[in-house]
Amino acid sequence: MSILFEPKTIGKLLVKNRLVRAPTVEKMATDDGGCTPKLVDLYTRLAEGGIGMIITGGAYTQRNGKGLPKKIGLHRDEVIDGYKKLTDRIHQYGVKVVAQLSHCGRQGTVELVGGTPVAPSAVPNLLGVTPIAMDRKQIGEAVDNFVRAAERARQAGFDGVQIHAAHGYLIHEFLSPRTNRRTDDWGGTFEKRMRFLIEIYQGIRRHLGKDYPILLRMNSNDYLEDGLGVEDAARIAERMSSLSIDAIEISAGTWETHFYMSRGDIPQNYWLYTRASGEEKERIREKLTHLARQIRFKEAYLLEYAGKIKKRISCPLILVGGIRTVRVMENILLEGSADFISMCRPLIREPEFPNLIRRGLAARSTCLNCNLCLTDKPVACYQMGFRPPHF
């Protein structure tokens, strides 16, 4: 049997194989974050397809942390029953499901967050909006809201939670010296920049106990001047491992460097600029297309960072980043570079990919890395001639 189908634990959680559905924003929830039949259908197809563990798209923990339309929300008690139906369905297939908890921070739009976005410091975002620098009360409320969202996740039947500290969202903004310019107890030194993440983690741990799995998603590289690099990432991972985080998933990039996060053929974040018109719209399109062509796709493009981080931690490492070939997946695990393989776009294209691998019917994903799936539409494969399963 392939090592891909050997079970492994994450904390007290036994996962039936080493294949993980990476957190992927679905854009299928209600306007206020509730569960829908389309979400249940999406996750049922993934569970039927043989994946070992599903990590949901980021569930916002408070109203001004939404960031994207139709996102999952765990910011209010009323959503619990709907997501309990979803987790019950997934568990019928022996699949574990983890809720990712997120707050968009400065990467939110005024329309979606209901006002000016908040952040550790007033550093303008990609759209030129300057966020409000959070005061101590707002920081404390944000920490509490992550803890409350984690409790809702447990009540809804999720097998664990993942703290989203990557991609330029709020927790990542506190970690990065580029976006955290504070000189108080929440910034200025490495330990002080770590404080927001640590308080969220320890708050959840105290509330939910030592046996409830808590995972972390963090950047291995921001690809930005004054941002986090792999050495910073290794220090963060080592610190969180010492505090008994149950697993770490590494990713990369922020909205400013989105092409490093999801490398492919078209500018997947073009939707951010669709309000532009005429020559301005075309200028932006040409610029983004040029950047996308410069940053070419290569398989397992974050593998080089995994080895540097893996040797610094004692918890399992989950690796994402353009992993497409079965032999590559197996070698990553056999060489000890990671403990789990995480995938996003291949499972959008083929939710049944894990079962195909297990049956010897697939040696490589058929995903073309076109990134048509990563727009403002509900997540699906929009390749010409390919019918999305949700419509």
**DSSP letter, residue 384:** T
Q: Which entry of 169, 201, 270, 382 is annotated as an active-site residue? A: 169
Report whether 127 contacts 52 (CB < 8 A). Answer: no
Angle between helices 80-91 and 136-155 (to 10 degrees): 50
Angle in degrees, CA 297, 298, 301, rounded to 5: 105
Q: Describe the crossing of helices 303-310 and 230-242 by its angle, rounded to 10 degrees.
A: 40
169 is catalytic: yes
DSSP category for residue 161: E
Contact 28, 36 (CB under 8 A): yes
| CA nearest to 64, candidates 121, 122, 131, 127 | 131
CB of 17 closer than 8 Å to CB of 252: no
Give the amino acid at 264: G
**What secondary structure letter does DSSP report for 364?**
B
User: For residue 59, how far is the Cα from the chain centroid?
Assistant: 10
User: Which residues are part of the catalytic machinery?
Assistant: 169
